[in-house]
Amino acid sequence: MINTGSNTGNCLTSSILQCLRGACIIAIGSHICVPFVPVPLTLQTLSVLFVVSHLGSKLGACSALLYLLEGLAGIPVFAEFSAGPAVVFGPSGGYLMGFIPAAYLTGILLEQRANRTFLSVFLAGLAGEIILLFIGFLQLSYFMGFADAYTFGIIPFILGDFLKLTIFAMISSVSSKK
């Protein structure tokens, strides 16, 4: 039998649709927002973690990249319905760009675990969160210096990120056992 490549086309279409769905989930999380200067508090990071948990490292990172590209193109997918290069290359843009490596790293760490325990899921998410905060901190520090970037771009997020990681680990470790 001759392979016409239709399975490859179906697989590619499925992957594209999964990335689109993942980008939409991240966008929805961005609109659940508490305005905070200079970086708003949102559910984007939790959304990224759940997307990665379900789609894996490659499609999860692809979803984060697609989300970033949508915003760059002017679609108001970022927090407070913002969009454009000024957001991505502005004070909070490093956090947005950090979604891509954070998603990939978290996904890789999750894929290495056959049995996802609360602790393994929490630590995988924490590793991604550290990468995300570091990239965001670096870009924010360009605009306001290291001390203020730490004060306004790291400290206010620690408690919320811990809570999001706990929720993520509780749900993902239970859902992986089903």
Terminal Cα distance for the chain, rounded: 38
How are beta strands 33-34 and 41-42 bridged, if at all?
A: antiparallel
Tell me the per-residue pLDDT of 144-174, one tens digit each, with 9 for 90 and over: 999 999 999 999 999 999 999 999 999 998 8
What is the model's pLDDT at position 24? 97
Ordered per-residue pLDDT tens for the chain, 178 residues:
344 455 667 899 999 999 999 999 999 999 998 876 667 788 999 999 999 999 999 999 999 999 999 999 999 999 989 999 999 999 999 999 999 999 999 999 999 988 899 999 999 999 999 999 999 999 999 999 999 999 999 999 999 999 999 999 999 988 766 5
What is the model's pLDDT at position 176? 64
What is the model's pLDDT at position 8? 67
Cβ count within 10 A of residue 34:
10
The answer to whether residue 33 is domain-embedded is yes
The answer to whether residue 1 is domain-embedded is no
Instruction: Concatenate the DSSP letters of all residues of 1-66 into one string.
Output: ----SHHHHHHHHHHHHHHHHHHHHHHHHHTSEE--SSS-EESHHHHHHHHHHHHHHHHHHHHHHH
The answer to whether residue 3 is domain-embedded is no
Cβ–Cβ under 8 Å, residues 66 and 113:
no
Q: What's 64's domain CATH number?
A: 1.10.1760.20
What six digits make up the tokens of 142? Answer: 């360009």
Range of the structural domain that residue 22 is part of: 8-175
The answer to whether residue 28 is domain-embedded is yes
What is the model's pLDDT at position 2? 45
Q: State how many domains the chain has.
A: 1
Per DSSP, what are the bridge partners of residue 33?
A: 42
The answer to whether residue 168 is domain-embedded is yes
> What sign does the dihedral 166-167-171-176 (CA atoms) show?
negative
